[in-house]
Amino acid sequence: MSWWSDRRIFLSGGAGFLGSIIRRNLESRQPAAFFAPPSTELDLRDAHATRAYLEQARPNLVIHCAAVVGGIGANRSHPGRFFYENAIMGIQLIEESRRVDVEKFVCLGTICAYPKFTPVPFHEDDLWNGYPEETNAPYGIAKKALLVQLQAYRAEYGFNGIFLLPVNLYGPGDNFDLESSHVIPAMIRKFIDATERGDDEVVLWGDGTPTREFLFVEDAAAAVVAATERYNGAAPVNLGSGREIPIRELAERVARATGYHGRVTWDTTKPNGQPRRALDVSRAEREFGFRAETPFEEGLRRTVEWYRGQSRGMNPRIPA
């Protein structure tokens, strides 16, 4: 707690899926000051507004979680928006943080920054060995540019910025809108809706052969907080569970968790996305002692229970 007692923290994306949990975690540590303005109060795309806010708040620690995100469909529909808004928010926030002498900047990147055919498990040194999977590339490259900026600012200005690469997140509070959600919430919603309607078929994208790794959102928040306190290196760091699962097997697990007993049909006219995705997570454990704690079955159960308890008035949601 003593490390946090003199921190004046600025958190972007504090109303989002991951950011809201990070916010609760940080507030419990009783920092000297805490700022988490929603997007309606501070538009990070506006450099002048960002500068004015930081000059007034004078944070000495900035954690950048804000992002415009979505699944394969959203990435295909909005490549320009995903590139521009993610790049410009991060570039300007890093620059304005440097200008007001922020002591430490924590930036969340994305696993989508890795090359399409990265050898499994993904090691941080593989980031520059190829082009990202096409549907994710604009978002992934926009985020990866922030790593370059932080490393350049460290070299020229001595700016202490760290870059974290969380794998696919899931958990209570996720976005379940079918137009913009990621794979686990999309499957949960499809299976539950089909069960309630009495449908005997659910159609899923691709052929089910790709693999993914998932990290429960509360574990991810704990990792970010641990890295904020203990890590000060220039090298990027993967945040994950270290467990790979094929999408076809994932569908079977989600079907069991939701009680769906119909058949699953794979729409092979739709893209698969990256063929495999699994991380080498040894650097996070070595550098700041992080290891994922939540078993996948428990995290999935909690996510399904949360969704069942929510109202059905869902709209596309972008983290603030």
In terms of DSSP H, where are the helices of 158-246? 183-197, 217-230
Round to whole Å and give the CA distance between 53 and 30: 21
Spans in the chain with pLDDT lower than 50 = 311, 313-320
Residue 194 in tokens: 């089909």
Q: Using one digit for the tens of pLDDT, what is the confidence trace for 282-319? A: 999 999 999 999 999 999 999 999 999 984 544 434 33
Question: Is CATH 3.30.460.10 what the domain over 8-170+215-242+277-294 is classified as, yes or no?
Answer: no
Of 206, 219, 104, whose CA–CA distance to 159 is shortest?
104
Please tell me what DSSP assigns to residue 115: B
Residue 97 in tokens: 């943080």
- Residue 77: Cβ within 10 Å count: 13
Q: Which of 53, 84, 114, 139 is catalytic?
A: 139
Torsion angle of alpha carbons 177, 180, 184, 187, nearest 10°? 60
153 catalytic per annotation: no
Residue 286 in tokens: 């070595």
Q: So what's the pLDDT on residue 178?
A: 87
What are the DSSP calls for 32-95, one per residue? SEEE---TTT--TT-HHHHHHHHHHH--SEEEE-------HHHHHH-HHHHHHHHHHHHHHHHH
Domain residues of the chain, as ranges? 8-170+215-242+277-294
Q: State if pTM tops 0.85.
A: yes
